[in-house]
Structure 1
Amino acid sequence: MKSKKQVVQVQQLDKNIPIEFFRIEDNFDLFDFSQHYQFDFYQIFWFIEVSDQQQEIDFIAYPLEAQQIWIIYPGQVHYFDPTAVSGYYLAIDKDYFHRILFQEAKQQGFTENAPLKFEVTASMRPLFEHLSLLIEQEFHDQQRANVLEKYLELLILHLQDLPVLQQRHVTIDARIHKLLELVELHYISERKNEFYADKVALSVKRMNEILLRSVGKSLKQQLQDRLLLEAKRLVGYSTDNIQDISHILGFSDVTYFNRFFKKLTLVTPLDFREQVKKVQG
């Protein structure tokens, strides 16, 4: 990737409008490809035409292909070059998205942290094109939140009819959603099973059973993975020294943080930072 600059923290352009809609090819300024970005909201990209492009999400490069819809989660570090790309882009307030999602989603893995992508089949393209045009017209004309919400509900319902690419299906369970929200909120300060089990009124054993069945990880693994992801973001994309990063992430000693990082990545934090710099060119 091109950028040697630090991650830019991004909030929605207008906090009063929970859903924003743009055409990628008409809004290159929104996707300044000299930077990596970390967003505090959900993003939905429908890539309609691409030309030998890639995007980077949390240190992993993914090829962009035409007629794919990608969901980028809040907190993920994202980069792509919008030149030679056309398509639609939605920015959606996090709380707003969660509320609609758990009204409408039944059997899809929206709770996963991994990138989620769908194939827009030929038979479904007219429907998604029509929905996108309705959202675009409402956003640029009256911006009625209740109308945009209805269109987003329909979009999420129909996303569930599309093939999911490289993503297994999981059952959306209110307890799973609550647990993953709690992990996101407290993974630095709370690392004991009992804290999370108590919050969802389950035994530790039962909590881990439903987590393993739904997302394939125990709570310990979930916390460890989330902590490592944040460590990689801070080490790879910030200029903070390693000792400060270990303190930010709740480690009592930088030596303990170094051991944790190397055990899971097989490289030291400093070596990882150098690798990221080389990849960025």
Structure 2
Amino acid sequence: MKIPVLNIGQFRESAPLNDVYVNSFSNHIQLNKHLINRPHTHNFYLCVLFTEGTGTHEIDFNSYSINPGKVFFLKPGQTHFWKFETPPEGFIFFHSQEFYDLKFLGHTINSFPFFGSYQNPPVLQLDSQKLNDLKSKFRDVYTEYLQTHLLRELKIINTLNNIYIELTRVYTADINLEKLTSPNYSNILENLENLINIHFYKEKFPKFYADKLNISTKHLNRVVKQTINKTTNQLIFERVILEAKRMIVHSHDNLATIADTLEFSDYAYFSKFFKSKTGMTPLGFRKKYFYKTNLK
């Protein structure tokens, strides 16, 4: 595949800190337009707050509107790109998993719901009051990033953690916390998604993943059903389809080669499978995607 994978070292504006980057959004896109002017992915966790501007943000083939108060979260490996209708402004920061997890040994970055399951929406809309509150915190971390004061890194990580906590409270405001799935089920789901990401090319049946997790297939299906109301098969097939879409539009491989890479027995079976899940053939999806992109 030809999707560029960007790393934190490619983005620098002030005296660098290991594994973290902070900037105003307008400055970020001006400095890095050569890196982000086409669909790409990252090897880090990203958070952006928009205070001005409109447009669309496509994340793994799902389109979201950009407007003031919108917050986006991206995990490593997700493909995305921006398309702006009016000039954007706001703040952006990203960091490696180690930058956060090594500072908070009792709490990992994936514990935040927007960075947990891939089933959780990667977007949040803030009301005007919360936007003002969070804008101040984003500005504080950006100001600190530009300085070289004593304990700079410690202040940055503490401010980022505070931002994540505030965003989590808004993100979960409509959730009955007493009815949340048990932490054990959430951990199984997270581990399942990680295993699927590693093995989905070759392993497309639930039993393989249940064995890896040392639980029965029946219990695995129960966990997935109770946490996200889907089946294990659905999760596996969704990951296969996502990768197929990425390869169809971001690589120059012919469709038969893509079918082979995804370890389907032949192109006819791959095409039938793809159409059953998306409503169109791989060729039809490629044509529709590029037609839509050219209209933008």
* TM class by smaller structure: 0.7 to 0.9
Instruction: Find the counterpart in structure 2 of residue 141 from structure 1.
Output: 147
Structure with greater contact order relative to length (CA < 8 Å, sep ≥ 6): 1
Alignment of 1:151-162 (within 5 A): 151-162=159-170
Task: Give the CA deviation at 1:81.
Answer: 3.4
Partner residue of 1:89 out of 89, 92, 97: 92
Aligned to 2:278: 265
Describe the SS at the equivalent of 2:58: strand
Which of 46, 51, 56 lines up with 1:48 in the alignment? Answer: 51
Residue 63 of structure 1: how far off its partner (Å): 1.4
Q: TM-score, normalised by structure 1?
A: 0.84
Q: CA deviation at 1:146?
A: 4.2
Instruction: Show the 5 A alignment for 1:154-193.
Output: 154-163=162-171, 171=181, 173-193=186-206
Task: Note closer, same or farther for the CA distance 1:21–1:56 as it changes in structure 2 (3 Å cut).
Answer: same
Number of matched pairs? 275
Q: Which amino acid aligns with 1:155?
A: I
Deviation at 1:179, TM superposition (A): 1.5
Distance change >3 Å, CA 167–CA 205, structure 1 → 2: same
8 Å CA contact retained: 2:100, 2:109: no
TM-score (norm 2): 0.80
Aligned equivalents of 1:124 and 1:34: distance in 2? 30
CA–CA separation in structure 1 for the residues paired with 2:284 and 2:176: 33
Contact residue 100 and residue 108 of structure 2 kept, 8 A: no
Shift of 1:222: 0.3
Identity %: 22
8 Å Cα contact 1:118-1:164 kept in structure 2: no
Q: Distance in 1 between matches of 2:22 and 2:218?
A: 43
Please name the residue that 2:138 is paired with: 132
Preserved contact between residue 231 and residue 245 of structure 1 (Cα < 8 Å): yes
For 1:72, give the aligned amino acid.
Answer: L
Tell me how large the CA RMSD over aligned residues is: 3.1
Q: Within 5 Å, which residues of 2 pair with 1:1-281? A: 7-13=3-9, 17-29=18-30, 30-32=32-34, 34-51=37-54, 53-81=55-83, 84-94=87-97, 96=99, 102-103=107-108, 108=113, 110-113=116-119, 115-142=121-148, 144-163=152-171, 171=181, 173-281=186-294
